[in-house]
């Protein structure tokens, strides 16, 4: 779910000083140098007044935008943030505004749009680790694993706290998995489990990935241990059913699917997989004594 933001950003509007100096005038006939006249001072006052008006509306757009986020009105929040950027395209805090636009697009599943916004931020602020991590997530959602991997590896070059490093390694493992680099997936997950042995999601992924690198016996052993500790985890039951199916153990595969369907009776993937197994079991000829 899109994170609710409860704080409002306040920007300090700094008045421009207007020193009395000469003006360089660019004209069709060439470049001329002259002293300031009343028209120049009048234009400066108008420009300063317009800047103040734009700045006030800019802050108002931000306030209303974050209030809309608080109410989960994403479309209205987007309009406010986009208006703010149009008003002051060079405002120093616009990378924060763009971050909200990128997160709104992520919440709506518009990952390509999010990638564009995060890329704009990172070109100007390459040290924004959270934005790079979010861009990697979007790349994976767009099935662009190499780009996601590049972002993860860039992040891992920096000193990160344990929680952040685990998040990056988890994304990196997904990128390696999309690239079918299963031994690298194993390395990523082992690093995660070294830092946090009780992280259940990583342990399940580790158990599943063991089969991908040919360790099917150990994969089954790890899945058994995991399911003993998490008997209602339908993803684990489905993973073990697939492993049994690959070993042509249709009876055990069906039993795992039966358990999973009791927990999630409307899960289409579980229902379709069980129907497939039942169909294959029905095609087998009975053995006559």
CB within 8 Å of 120: residues ≥ 6 apart: 95, 98
pLDDT at residue 94 in the model:
86
Is 234 within 8 Å of 264 (Cβ atoms)? yes
Q: How many whole angstroms separate alpha carbon 115 and alpha carbon 121?
A: 10
> Averaged over 84-99, what is the pLDDT?
87
pLDDT at residue 53 in the model:
53
Whether the predicted pLDDT of 26 surpasses 80: no
Give one word for 214, left, alpha or beta, with left for phi > 0 and alpha for psi -120 to 50. left
Q: How many whole angstroms separate alpha carbon 117 and alpha carbon 94?
A: 11
Whether the predicted pLDDT of 239 surpasses 90: yes
pLDDT band at 285 (very low <50, low <70, confident <90, very high): low
Q: How many whole angstroms separate alpha carbon 28 and alpha carbon 33?
A: 14
pLDDT at residue 33 in the model:
44
Q: How many whole angstroms separate alpha carbon 82 and alpha carbon 104?
A: 12
Q: Quick one: which H or E segment has residue 34?
A: strand 30-34
pTM reported for the whole predicted model: 0.73
Whether the predicted pLDDT of 16 surpasses 50: no
Q: How many whole angstroms separate alpha carbon 135 and alpha carbon 117?
A: 9
- The per-residue pLDDT for range 151-185, each reduced to its tens digit, is 999 999 999 999 999 999 999 999 999 999 999 99
Q: Quick one: which H or E segment has residue 21?
A: none
């Amino acid at each position: 779910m899109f994170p609710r933001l409860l704080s409002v950003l306040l920007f300090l509007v700094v008045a421009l000083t207007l020193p009395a100096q000469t003006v360089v005038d660019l004209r069709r006939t060439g470049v001329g140098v002259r002293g300031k006249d009343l028209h120049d001072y009048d234009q400066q006052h108008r420009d300063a007044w317009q800047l103040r008006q734009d700045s006030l509306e800019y802050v108002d757009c931000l306030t209303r935008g974050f209030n809309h986020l608080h109410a989960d009105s994403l479309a209205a929040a987007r309009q406010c943030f986009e208006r703010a950027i149009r008003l002051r395209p060079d405002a120093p805090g616009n990378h924060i505004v763009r971050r909200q636009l990128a997160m709104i697009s992520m919440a709506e599943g518009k990952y390509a749009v999010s990638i564009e916004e995060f890329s704009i931020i990172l070109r100007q602020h390459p040290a924004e680790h959270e934005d790079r991590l979010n861009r990697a997530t979007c790349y994976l959602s767009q099935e662009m694993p190499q780009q996601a991997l590049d972002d993860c590896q860039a992040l891992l070059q920096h000193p990160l706290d344990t929680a952040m490093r685990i998040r990056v390694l988890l994304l990196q493992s997904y990128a390696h998995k999309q690239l079918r680099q299963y031994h690298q997936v194993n390395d990523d997950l082992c690093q995660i489990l070294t830092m946090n042995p009780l992280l259940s999601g990583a342990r399940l992924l580790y158990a599943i990935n063991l089969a991908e690198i040919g360790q099917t016996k150990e994969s089954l052993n790890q899945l058994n241990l995991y399911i003993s500790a998490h008997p209602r985890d339908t993803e684990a039951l489905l993973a073990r059913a697939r492993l049994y199916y690959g070993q042509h153990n249709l009876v055990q595969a069906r039993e795992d699917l039966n358990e999973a369907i009791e927990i999630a009776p409307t899960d289409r993937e579980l229902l379709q997989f069980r129907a497939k197994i039942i169909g294959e079991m029905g095609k087998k000829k009975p053995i006559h004594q």
